[in-house]
Structure 1
Protein backbone atom coordinates (compact mmCIF):
# COMPACT_ATOMS: atom_id res chain seq x y z
CA UNK A 1 0.00 0.00 0.00
CA UNK A 2 2.86 2.41 0.73
CA UNK A 3 4.33 1.92 -2.75
CA UNK A 4 0.88 2.53 -4.23
CA UNK A 5 0.56 5.82 -2.35
CA UNK A 6 4.07 6.83 -3.40
CA UNK A 7 3.32 6.26 -7.08
CA UNK A 8 0.10 8.24 -6.82
CA UNK A 9 2.08 11.09 -5.32
CA UNK A 10 4.65 11.07 -8.11
CA UNK A 11 1.87 11.21 -10.69
CA UNK A 12 0.61 14.37 -8.99
CA UNK A 13 3.90 16.27 -9.12
CA UNK A 14 3.36 20.03 -9.29
CA UNK A 15 4.95 20.70 -12.64
CA UNK A 16 2.56 21.56 -15.45
CA UNK A 17 4.34 24.82 -16.18
CA UNK A 18 7.26 22.97 -17.67
CA UNK A 19 4.98 20.36 -19.15
CA UNK A 20 5.82 17.40 -17.14
CA UNK A 21 3.31 14.81 -18.28
CA UNK A 22 2.02 14.08 -14.75
CA UNK A 23 -1.47 13.86 -13.25
CA UNK A 24 -3.56 15.63 -12.32
CA UNK A 25 -3.32 15.89 -16.06
CA UNK A 26 -4.06 19.60 -16.19
CA UNK A 27 -3.69 21.04 -12.67
CA UNK A 28 -1.08 21.53 -9.95
CA UNK A 29 -0.47 19.29 -6.92
CA UNK A 30 2.07 18.87 -4.12
CA UNK A 31 3.76 15.42 -3.90
CA UNK A 32 7.35 14.75 -4.96
CA UNK A 33 9.50 11.63 -5.44
CA UNK A 34 10.98 9.90 -2.42
CA UNK A 35 14.76 10.00 -2.09
CA UNK A 36 16.46 7.91 -4.79
CA UNK A 37 13.24 7.20 -6.69
CA UNK A 38 13.07 7.67 -10.46
CA UNK A 39 9.88 8.47 -12.38
CA UNK A 40 9.39 8.52 -16.15
CA UNK A 41 6.34 9.67 -18.08
CA UNK A 42 5.31 9.68 -21.71
CA UNK A 43 2.03 11.06 -22.98
CA UNK A 44 0.10 12.82 -25.69
CA UNK A 45 -1.74 16.10 -25.16
CA UNK A 46 -4.16 17.75 -27.57
CA UNK A 47 -5.89 21.08 -28.13
CA UNK A 48 -8.58 21.24 -30.80
CA UNK A 49 -9.89 24.46 -32.29
CA UNK A 50 -11.58 25.89 -35.34
CA UNK A 51 -8.20 26.16 -37.11
CA UNK A 52 -7.05 22.62 -36.47
CA UNK A 53 -5.60 20.37 -33.80
CA UNK A 54 -2.33 20.92 -31.98
CA UNK A 55 -0.73 17.80 -30.45
CA UNK A 56 2.28 17.53 -28.18
CA UNK A 57 4.14 14.59 -26.70
CA UNK A 58 7.37 14.04 -24.84
CA UNK A 59 9.22 12.31 -22.04
CA UNK A 60 9.54 13.65 -18.51
CA UNK A 61 11.91 12.11 -15.97
CA UNK A 62 12.22 12.95 -12.29
CA UNK A 63 14.69 11.93 -9.58
CA UNK A 64 14.25 12.32 -5.82
CA UNK A 65 17.38 14.07 -4.54
CA UNK A 66 16.03 14.11 -0.96
CA UNK A 67 12.68 13.04 0.58
CA UNK A 68 11.34 16.52 -0.25
CA UNK A 69 13.31 17.67 -3.32
CA UNK A 70 12.84 16.30 -6.85
CA UNK A 71 14.71 17.21 -10.03
CA UNK A 72 12.72 16.96 -13.29
CA UNK A 73 13.62 17.28 -16.98
CA UNK A 74 11.26 17.32 -19.96
CA UNK A 75 11.92 16.88 -23.69
CA UNK A 76 8.81 17.48 -25.87
CA UNK A 77 7.75 17.23 -29.49
CA UNK A 78 4.80 18.98 -31.16
CA UNK A 79 2.57 18.17 -34.14
CA UNK A 80 -0.14 20.03 -36.02
CA UNK A 81 -0.73 23.73 -36.44
CA UNK A 82 -3.75 24.82 -34.48
CA UNK A 83 -2.48 28.45 -34.26
CA UNK A 84 -3.73 28.54 -30.66
CA UNK A 85 -2.81 30.97 -27.85
CA UNK A 86 0.21 30.41 -25.64
CA UNK A 87 -0.35 27.81 -22.88
CA UNK A 88 1.82 26.71 -19.96
CA UNK A 89 -0.74 24.27 -18.54
CA UNK A 90 -0.27 22.27 -21.74
CA UNK A 91 3.12 21.12 -23.10
CA UNK A 92 4.62 23.25 -25.86
CA UNK A 93 7.87 22.91 -27.80
CA UNK A 94 10.24 24.18 -25.09
CA UNK A 95 12.72 21.96 -23.30
CA UNK A 96 12.88 22.40 -19.55
CA UNK A 97 14.62 21.33 -16.37
CA UNK A 98 13.96 22.29 -12.78
CA UNK A 99 13.28 21.24 -9.21
CA UNK A 100 10.27 20.86 -6.93
CA UNK A 101 10.68 21.43 -3.18
CA UNK A 102 8.02 20.27 -0.75
CA UNK A 103 8.71 22.87 1.94
CA UNK A 104 5.73 22.00 4.15
CA UNK A 105 4.59 18.50 5.10
CA UNK A 106 2.36 17.78 8.10
CA UNK A 107 0.69 14.44 8.89
CA UNK A 108 -2.52 15.36 10.71
CA UNK A 109 -3.82 11.79 11.15
CA UNK A 110 -2.91 8.33 9.90
CA UNK A 111 -3.17 8.52 6.11
CA UNK A 112 -3.95 12.26 6.09
CA UNK A 113 -1.54 15.11 5.40
CA UNK A 114 -1.23 18.79 4.53
CA UNK A 115 1.47 19.81 2.06
CA UNK A 116 2.87 22.74 0.11
CA UNK A 117 5.35 22.53 -2.78
CA UNK A 118 7.18 25.15 -4.82
CA UNK A 119 8.80 24.56 -8.21
CA UNK A 120 11.27 26.49 -10.32
CA UNK A 121 12.46 25.61 -13.84
CA UNK A 122 14.51 26.93 -16.72
CA UNK A 123 12.65 26.84 -20.05
CA UNK A 124 14.63 26.91 -23.32
CA UNK A 125 13.49 26.86 -26.98
CA UNK A 126 13.33 23.42 -28.57
CA UNK A 127 14.34 22.58 -32.16
CA UNK A 128 10.79 22.73 -33.55
CA UNK A 129 9.27 26.03 -34.73
CA UNK A 130 6.07 27.34 -33.19
CA UNK A 131 2.80 27.63 -35.08
CA UNK A 132 0.73 30.72 -35.78
CA UNK A 133 1.71 34.12 -34.45
CA UNK A 134 4.32 32.60 -32.11
CA UNK A 135 6.22 31.35 -35.15
CA UNK A 136 7.05 34.97 -36.07
CA UNK A 137 9.06 35.85 -32.96
CA UNK A 138 12.70 35.32 -32.01
CA UNK A 139 12.67 32.74 -29.25
CA UNK A 140 14.58 33.13 -25.99
CA UNK A 141 14.84 31.21 -22.69
CA UNK A 142 12.46 31.80 -19.82
CA UNK A 143 11.83 30.95 -16.18
CA UNK A 144 8.78 29.15 -14.78
CA UNK A 145 7.67 29.04 -11.15
CA UNK A 146 4.73 27.32 -9.45
CA UNK A 147 3.27 27.01 -5.98
CA UNK A 148 0.75 24.39 -4.86
CA UNK A 149 -0.82 23.52 -1.51
CA UNK A 150 -3.42 21.04 -0.44
CA UNK A 151 -4.79 18.13 1.53
CA UNK A 152 -4.47 14.42 0.78
CA UNK A 153 -5.89 11.30 2.41
CA UNK A 154 -6.51 7.70 1.41
CA UNK A 155 -9.88 8.61 -0.07
CA UNK A 156 -9.84 12.31 -1.05
CA UNK A 157 -7.49 15.00 -2.39
CA UNK A 158 -7.78 18.76 -2.76
CA UNK A 159 -5.12 21.05 -4.23
CA UNK A 160 -4.89 24.75 -5.09
CA UNK A 161 -2.05 25.99 -7.24
CA UNK A 162 -0.75 28.73 -9.47
CA UNK A 163 2.22 29.59 -11.62
CA UNK A 164 3.98 32.25 -13.63
CA UNK A 165 6.20 31.92 -16.70
CA UNK A 166 8.23 34.80 -18.10
CA UNK A 167 10.53 34.92 -21.14
CA UNK A 168 13.50 37.10 -21.99
CA UNK A 169 13.51 39.43 -24.98
CA UNK A 170 15.44 38.63 -28.16
CA UNK A 171 15.66 40.58 -31.42
CA UNK A 172 12.98 43.04 -30.29
CA UNK A 173 10.59 40.11 -29.85
CA UNK A 174 9.25 38.51 -26.72
CA UNK A 175 7.04 35.54 -26.00
CA UNK A 176 4.07 36.46 -23.77
CA UNK A 177 4.23 36.04 -20.01
CA UNK A 178 1.67 33.59 -18.65
CA UNK A 179 -0.19 33.36 -15.35
CA UNK A 180 -1.95 30.05 -14.67
CA UNK A 181 -3.96 28.58 -11.80
CA UNK A 182 -5.88 25.44 -10.89
CA UNK A 183 -8.12 23.72 -8.37
CA UNK A 184 -8.17 19.92 -8.30
CA UNK A 185 -10.45 17.60 -6.32
CA UNK A 186 -9.68 13.90 -6.35
CA UNK A 187 -11.55 10.94 -4.92
CA UNK A 188 -10.71 7.27 -4.48
CA UNK A 189 -13.91 5.16 -4.28
CA UNK A 190 -13.88 2.46 -1.60
CA UNK A 191 -14.88 -0.26 -4.08
CA UNK A 192 -11.94 0.64 -6.32
CA UNK A 193 -9.43 1.10 -3.47
CA UNK A 194 -7.21 -1.96 -3.83
CA UNK A 195 -3.75 -3.25 -2.96
CA UNK A 196 -0.41 -2.81 -4.66
CA UNK A 197 -0.83 -5.94 -6.82
CA UNK A 198 -4.25 -4.91 -8.23
CA UNK A 199 -5.50 -2.03 -10.36
CA UNK A 200 -6.33 0.93 -8.12
CA UNK A 201 -8.41 3.85 -9.42
CA UNK A 202 -8.82 7.56 -8.69
CA UNK A 203 -11.16 10.10 -10.25
CA UNK A 204 -10.42 13.82 -10.40
CA UNK A 205 -12.25 17.02 -11.32
CA UNK A 206 -9.84 19.64 -12.64
CA UNK A 207 -10.47 23.37 -13.00
CA UNK A 208 -7.75 25.43 -14.69
CA UNK A 209 -7.29 28.96 -15.93
CA UNK A 210 -4.69 30.90 -17.88
CA UNK A 211 -3.97 34.51 -18.79
CA UNK A 212 -1.31 35.30 -21.39
CA UNK A 213 -0.01 38.76 -22.15
CA UNK A 214 0.44 40.24 -25.59
CA UNK A 215 3.01 38.94 -28.06
CA UNK A 216 5.78 41.48 -28.76
CA UNK A 217 7.23 41.77 -32.27
CA UNK A 218 9.64 44.57 -33.26
CA UNK A 219 9.18 46.15 -29.82
CA UNK A 220 5.42 46.48 -30.29
CA UNK A 221 2.57 44.44 -28.83
CA UNK A 222 0.63 42.58 -31.51
CA UNK A 223 -3.05 43.67 -31.34
CA UNK A 224 -5.51 41.13 -29.90
CA UNK A 225 -2.71 38.67 -29.01
CA UNK A 226 -3.45 38.37 -25.27
CA UNK A 227 -5.90 35.75 -23.99
CA UNK A 228 -7.74 34.54 -20.90
CA UNK A 229 -9.59 31.23 -20.56
CA UNK A 230 -11.12 28.92 -17.92
CA UNK A 231 -11.43 25.15 -18.34
CA UNK A 232 -13.14 22.30 -16.45
CA UNK A 233 -13.23 18.55 -16.88
CA UNK A 234 -12.71 15.07 -15.40
CA UNK A 235 -9.67 12.82 -15.39
CA UNK A 236 -9.07 9.22 -14.30
CA UNK A 237 -5.91 7.68 -12.85
CA UNK A 238 -5.35 3.89 -12.80
CA UNK A 239 -2.35 2.39 -10.97
CA UNK A 240 -0.98 -1.17 -11.06
CA UNK A 241 2.19 -1.75 -9.02
CA UNK A 242 4.69 0.81 -10.38
CA UNK A 243 2.84 1.56 -13.65
CA UNK A 244 0.01 4.03 -14.18
CA UNK A 245 -2.29 5.16 -16.97
CA UNK A 246 -4.22 8.40 -16.79
CA UNK A 247 -6.41 10.43 -19.08
CA UNK A 248 -8.59 13.50 -19.02
CA UNK A 249 -10.65 15.94 -21.04
CA UNK A 250 -11.62 19.59 -20.52
CA UNK A 251 -14.18 21.94 -22.02
CA UNK A 252 -14.12 25.76 -21.89
CA UNK A 253 -16.11 27.65 -19.27
CA UNK A 254 -14.96 31.12 -20.31
CA UNK A 255 -12.88 32.49 -23.20
CA UNK A 256 -11.63 36.01 -23.77
CA UNK A 257 -9.65 35.23 -26.91
CA UNK A 258 -9.57 36.91 -30.31
CA UNK A 259 -11.19 34.50 -32.75
CA UNK A 260 -9.72 36.53 -35.60
CA UNK A 261 -6.21 35.94 -34.27
CA UNK A 262 -6.50 32.41 -32.83
CA UNK A 263 -9.81 30.92 -33.91
CA UNK A 264 -11.97 29.17 -31.33
CA UNK A 265 -10.49 26.47 -29.06
CA UNK A 266 -13.10 23.81 -28.29
CA UNK A 267 -11.57 20.99 -26.24
CA UNK A 268 -8.40 19.85 -24.47
CA UNK A 269 -7.46 16.23 -23.83
CA UNK A 270 -4.57 14.17 -22.49
CA UNK A 271 -3.41 10.56 -22.12
CA UNK A 272 -0.32 9.71 -20.06
CA UNK A 273 1.71 6.58 -19.19
CA UNK A 274 3.95 6.58 -16.10
CA UNK A 275 6.57 4.33 -14.53
CA UNK A 276 8.21 4.65 -11.11
CA UNK A 277 11.32 2.80 -9.98
CA UNK A 278 11.13 2.60 -6.21
CA UNK A 279 14.24 3.15 -4.13
CA UNK A 280 15.47 0.48 -1.73
CA UNK A 281 16.42 3.34 0.59
CA UNK A 282 12.97 4.93 0.70
CA UNK A 283 12.44 6.60 4.02
CA UNK A 284 9.23 7.49 5.81
CA UNK A 285 8.24 11.09 5.08
Structure 2
Protein backbone atom coordinates (compact mmCIF):
# COMPACT_ATOMS: atom_id res chain seq x y z
CA UNK A 1 0.00 0.00 0.00
CA UNK A 2 1.36 3.38 -0.99
CA UNK A 3 2.03 6.17 1.50
CA UNK A 4 -0.88 8.41 0.30
CA UNK A 5 -3.29 5.47 0.56
CA UNK A 6 -2.08 4.64 4.06
CA UNK A 7 -2.44 8.31 5.06
CA UNK A 8 -6.02 8.46 3.74
CA UNK A 9 -6.92 5.22 5.53
CA UNK A 10 -5.43 6.55 8.76
CA UNK A 11 -7.44 9.76 8.48
CA UNK A 12 -10.66 7.83 7.89
CA UNK A 13 -9.90 5.54 10.83
CA UNK A 14 -9.24 8.46 13.16
CA UNK A 15 -12.37 10.23 11.92
CA UNK A 16 -14.41 7.09 12.47
CA UNK A 17 -13.03 6.73 16.00
CA UNK A 18 -13.97 10.34 16.79
CA UNK A 19 -17.47 9.91 15.38
CA UNK A 20 -17.88 6.69 17.31
CA UNK A 21 -16.84 8.36 20.56
CA UNK A 22 -19.23 11.25 19.88
CA UNK A 23 -22.06 8.80 19.19
CA UNK A 24 -21.42 6.97 22.46
CA UNK A 25 -21.32 10.26 24.37
CA UNK A 26 -24.58 11.35 22.73
CA UNK A 27 -26.30 8.08 23.60
CA UNK A 28 -24.99 8.30 27.16
CA UNK A 29 -26.52 11.78 27.47
CA UNK A 30 -29.79 11.26 25.59
CA UNK A 31 -30.90 7.75 26.59
CA UNK A 32 -31.68 8.67 30.24
CA UNK A 33 -33.82 11.58 29.01
CA UNK A 34 -35.66 9.29 26.57
CA UNK A 35 -36.23 6.85 29.43
CA UNK A 36 -37.70 9.66 31.54
CA UNK A 37 -40.08 10.65 28.75
CA UNK A 38 -41.32 7.09 28.18
CA UNK A 39 -41.50 6.23 31.88
CA UNK A 40 -43.52 9.35 32.68
CA UNK A 41 -46.37 7.85 30.62
CA UNK A 42 -46.57 4.70 32.77
CA UNK A 43 -48.61 3.70 35.75
CA UNK A 44 -47.24 1.54 38.56
CA UNK A 45 -48.36 -1.66 36.80
CA UNK A 46 -46.84 -0.56 33.48
CA UNK A 47 -43.29 -0.59 34.86
CA UNK A 48 -43.34 -4.39 35.03
CA UNK A 49 -45.49 -4.90 31.93
CA UNK A 50 -43.52 -2.78 29.42
CA UNK A 51 -39.89 -2.43 28.36
CA UNK A 52 -37.71 0.47 29.45
CA UNK A 53 -38.11 2.61 26.32
CA UNK A 54 -41.70 1.65 25.49
CA UNK A 55 -44.55 4.11 25.84
CA UNK A 56 -47.49 2.93 27.92
CA UNK A 57 -51.11 4.10 27.73
CA UNK A 58 -50.00 7.72 28.06
CA UNK A 59 -50.84 8.26 31.73
CA UNK A 60 -48.73 11.42 31.71
CA UNK A 61 -51.64 13.74 32.52
CA UNK A 62 -52.81 11.40 35.26
CA UNK A 63 -49.30 11.35 36.71
CA UNK A 64 -49.07 15.15 36.50
CA UNK A 65 -52.42 15.56 38.27
CA UNK A 66 -51.35 13.20 41.03
CA UNK A 67 -47.93 14.83 41.23
CA UNK A 68 -49.32 18.30 41.91
CA UNK A 69 -52.00 17.01 44.30
CA UNK A 70 -49.86 14.70 46.44
CA UNK A 71 -49.29 15.82 50.06
CA UNK A 72 -51.34 18.97 49.74
CA UNK A 73 -49.63 20.18 46.56
CA UNK A 74 -46.16 20.41 48.11
CA UNK A 75 -44.59 20.00 44.65
CA UNK A 76 -45.74 23.54 43.82
CA UNK A 77 -43.61 24.78 46.73
CA UNK A 78 -40.63 22.81 45.43
CA UNK A 79 -40.98 24.38 41.99
CA UNK A 80 -41.21 27.87 43.49
CA UNK A 81 -38.21 27.29 45.72
CA UNK A 82 -36.06 25.90 42.91
CA UNK A 83 -36.90 28.85 40.68
CA UNK A 84 -36.04 31.28 43.48
CA UNK A 85 -32.83 29.53 44.47
CA UNK A 86 -31.64 29.00 40.90
CA UNK A 87 -33.14 32.01 39.12
CA UNK A 88 -32.54 34.77 41.64
CA UNK A 89 -29.43 33.12 43.04
CA UNK A 90 -27.86 32.67 39.60
CA UNK A 91 -28.62 36.26 38.54
CA UNK A 92 -27.23 37.85 41.71
CA UNK A 93 -24.37 35.36 41.94
CA UNK A 94 -23.34 35.95 38.32
CA UNK A 95 -23.41 39.71 38.89
CA UNK A 96 -21.25 39.39 42.01
CA UNK A 97 -18.81 37.03 40.27
CA UNK A 98 -18.59 39.33 37.25
CA UNK A 99 -17.93 42.37 39.43
CA UNK A 100 -15.26 40.50 41.41
CA UNK A 101 -13.58 39.19 38.26
CA UNK A 102 -13.61 42.65 36.70
CA UNK A 103 -12.11 44.18 39.84
CA UNK A 104 -9.30 41.60 39.97
CA UNK A 105 -8.54 42.04 36.27
CA UNK A 106 -8.84 45.81 35.85
CA UNK A 107 -8.47 47.57 39.20
CA UNK A 108 -5.15 48.10 40.91
CA UNK A 109 -5.41 47.54 44.65
CA UNK A 110 -3.15 45.97 47.31
CA UNK A 111 -3.41 42.22 47.60
CA UNK A 112 -4.97 41.71 44.18
CA UNK A 113 -2.72 38.80 43.22
CA UNK A 114 -3.13 37.18 46.63
CA UNK A 115 -6.90 37.51 46.37
CA UNK A 116 -6.89 35.85 42.96
CA UNK A 117 -4.68 33.04 44.28
CA UNK A 118 -7.11 32.44 47.15
CA UNK A 119 -9.95 32.41 44.63
CA UNK A 120 -8.18 29.76 42.55
CA UNK A 121 -7.61 27.72 45.71
CA UNK A 122 -11.34 27.97 46.40
CA UNK A 123 -12.05 26.30 43.07
CA UNK A 124 -10.28 23.17 44.35
CA UNK A 125 -12.45 22.86 47.48
CA UNK A 126 -15.46 20.55 46.91
CA UNK A 127 -18.81 22.03 48.00
CA UNK A 128 -19.50 19.05 50.25
CA UNK A 129 -16.46 19.96 52.36
CA UNK A 130 -18.03 23.36 53.08
CA UNK A 131 -21.44 22.02 54.10
CA UNK A 132 -20.60 21.46 57.79
CA UNK A 133 -18.87 24.86 58.29
CA UNK A 134 -21.78 26.56 56.53
CA UNK A 135 -24.25 24.73 58.74
CA UNK A 136 -22.40 25.77 61.91
CA UNK A 137 -22.28 29.37 60.70
CA UNK A 138 -25.97 29.35 59.81
CA UNK A 139 -26.73 27.86 63.22
CA UNK A 140 -24.88 30.72 64.95
CA UNK A 141 -26.89 33.20 62.88
CA UNK A 142 -30.18 31.33 63.56
CA UNK A 143 -30.74 30.77 59.84
CA UNK A 144 -31.01 26.96 59.82
CA UNK A 145 -34.22 25.72 58.19
CA UNK A 146 -34.84 29.06 56.49
CA UNK A 147 -34.72 30.20 52.88
CA UNK A 148 -31.58 32.26 53.57
CA UNK A 149 -29.58 29.29 54.82
CA UNK A 150 -29.57 27.88 51.28
CA UNK A 151 -29.80 31.08 49.27
CA UNK A 152 -26.92 33.14 50.71
CA UNK A 153 -24.11 30.54 50.21
CA UNK A 154 -25.14 30.20 46.57
CA UNK A 155 -24.22 33.81 45.78
CA UNK A 156 -20.48 33.09 45.70
CA UNK A 157 -18.64 30.88 43.23
CA UNK A 158 -14.82 30.94 42.91
CA UNK A 159 -14.94 29.35 39.46
CA UNK A 160 -17.33 32.09 38.31
CA UNK A 161 -14.91 34.74 39.55
CA UNK A 162 -12.08 33.06 37.65
CA UNK A 163 -14.14 32.96 34.43
CA UNK A 164 -15.21 36.58 34.84
CA UNK A 165 -11.61 37.67 35.35
CA UNK A 166 -10.66 35.88 32.12
CA UNK A 167 -13.52 37.54 30.22
CA UNK A 168 -12.60 40.98 31.57
CA UNK A 169 -8.99 40.57 30.42
CA UNK A 170 -10.12 39.48 26.95
CA UNK A 171 -12.99 41.87 26.24
CA UNK A 172 -12.56 45.12 28.20
CA UNK A 173 -9.79 47.41 26.85
CA UNK A 174 -7.93 49.48 29.42
CA UNK A 175 -8.11 52.51 27.09
CA UNK A 176 -11.91 52.56 27.20
CA UNK A 177 -11.91 52.44 31.00
CA UNK A 178 -9.32 55.21 31.19
CA UNK A 179 -11.38 57.42 28.86
CA UNK A 180 -14.49 56.89 30.98
CA UNK A 181 -12.63 57.79 34.15
CA UNK A 182 -11.26 60.95 32.50
CA UNK A 183 -14.85 61.91 31.69
CA UNK A 184 -15.62 61.77 35.39
CA UNK A 185 -17.37 58.40 35.65
CA UNK A 186 -17.02 56.63 38.99
CA UNK A 187 -16.03 53.00 39.27
CA UNK A 188 -19.59 51.66 39.78
CA UNK A 189 -20.77 53.52 36.68
CA UNK A 190 -17.75 52.38 34.66
CA UNK A 191 -18.51 48.78 35.53
CA UNK A 192 -22.28 48.89 35.01
CA UNK A 193 -22.43 51.00 31.85
CA UNK A 194 -19.17 50.12 30.06
CA UNK A 195 -17.51 46.95 31.35
CA UNK A 196 -20.63 44.85 31.99
CA UNK A 197 -22.07 45.26 28.45
CA UNK A 198 -18.68 44.30 27.00
CA UNK A 199 -18.59 41.27 29.30
CA UNK A 200 -22.18 40.22 28.52
CA UNK A 201 -21.26 36.89 26.86
CA UNK A 202 -19.07 36.09 29.85
CA UNK A 203 -21.83 37.15 32.24
CA UNK A 204 -24.28 34.82 30.48
CA UNK A 205 -21.77 31.97 30.68
CA UNK A 206 -21.26 32.47 34.41
CA UNK A 207 -25.05 32.80 34.80
CA UNK A 208 -25.64 29.45 33.12
CA UNK A 209 -22.97 27.69 35.16
CA UNK A 210 -24.45 29.17 38.32
CA UNK A 211 -27.99 28.27 37.28
CA UNK A 212 -27.15 24.63 36.56
CA UNK A 213 -25.07 24.25 39.74
CA UNK A 214 -27.79 25.76 41.95
CA UNK A 215 -30.62 23.88 40.25
CA UNK A 216 -28.83 20.57 40.78
CA UNK A 217 -27.70 21.48 44.29
CA UNK A 218 -28.69 18.75 46.71
CA UNK A 219 -26.31 18.39 49.62
CA UNK A 220 -26.60 21.93 51.01
CA UNK A 221 -30.44 21.87 51.22
CA UNK A 222 -30.22 18.37 52.71
CA UNK A 223 -28.02 19.72 55.51
CA UNK A 224 -29.83 23.00 56.08
CA UNK A 225 -33.53 22.24 55.67
CA UNK A 226 -36.13 20.12 57.44
CA UNK A 227 -39.32 21.91 56.37
CA UNK A 228 -40.69 20.25 53.18
CA UNK A 229 -42.16 23.57 52.03
CA UNK A 230 -38.61 24.98 51.75
CA UNK A 231 -37.19 22.05 49.78
CA UNK A 232 -35.99 22.51 46.20
CA UNK A 233 -37.11 19.96 43.63
CA UNK A 234 -33.92 17.91 43.96
CA UNK A 235 -34.36 17.28 47.68
CA UNK A 236 -38.12 16.80 47.50
CA UNK A 237 -37.92 14.26 44.69
CA UNK A 238 -35.14 12.45 46.54
CA UNK A 239 -37.31 12.08 49.63
CA UNK A 240 -40.14 10.71 47.54
CA UNK A 241 -37.74 8.26 45.88
CA UNK A 242 -36.82 6.83 49.30
CA UNK A 243 -40.52 6.29 50.03
CA UNK A 244 -40.99 4.52 46.70
CA UNK A 245 -39.17 1.49 48.15
CA UNK A 246 -42.13 0.90 50.49
CA UNK A 247 -44.89 2.65 48.51
CA UNK A 248 -44.61 1.87 44.77
CA UNK A 249 -47.25 4.48 43.90
CA UNK A 250 -44.51 7.10 44.38
CA UNK A 251 -42.52 5.74 41.41
CA UNK A 252 -44.53 7.50 38.67
CA UNK A 253 -44.45 10.72 40.70
CA UNK A 254 -40.67 10.60 41.12
CA UNK A 255 -40.12 9.99 37.40
CA UNK A 256 -42.61 12.64 36.28
CA UNK A 257 -41.15 15.14 38.73
CA UNK A 258 -37.63 14.35 37.49
CA UNK A 259 -38.78 14.99 33.92
CA UNK A 260 -40.21 18.37 34.91
CA UNK A 261 -36.97 19.20 36.72
CA UNK A 262 -35.03 18.84 33.46
CA UNK A 263 -37.24 21.24 31.48
CA UNK A 264 -35.95 24.55 32.99
CA UNK A 265 -32.33 23.53 32.34
CA UNK A 266 -33.01 22.71 28.69
CA UNK A 267 -35.01 25.92 28.29
CA UNK A 268 -32.23 28.06 29.73
CA UNK A 269 -29.62 26.58 27.39
CA UNK A 270 -31.86 26.90 24.33
CA UNK A 271 -32.73 30.53 25.06
CA UNK A 272 -29.19 31.63 25.93
CA UNK A 273 -27.14 29.32 23.71
CA UNK A 274 -25.94 32.05 21.34
CA UNK A 275 -24.58 34.23 24.14
CA UNK A 276 -23.18 31.15 25.86
CA UNK A 277 -21.23 30.09 22.78
CA UNK A 278 -19.84 33.59 22.38
CA UNK A 279 -18.86 33.63 26.02
CA UNK A 280 -16.99 30.35 25.77
CA UNK A 281 -15.14 31.61 22.68
CA UNK A 282 -14.18 34.88 24.38
CA UNK A 283 -13.13 33.14 27.57
CA UNK A 284 -10.93 30.61 25.81
CA UNK A 285 -8.28 33.26 25.12
CA UNK A 286 -6.53 34.86 28.07
Question: Could you tell me the TM-score, scaled by structure 1's length?
Answer: 0.22
Which of 1 and 2 has greater Rg? 2
Structure with the larger strand share: 1
TM-score by length of 2: 0.22
Of Structure 1 and Structure 2, which has the larger fraction of its residues in helix? 2
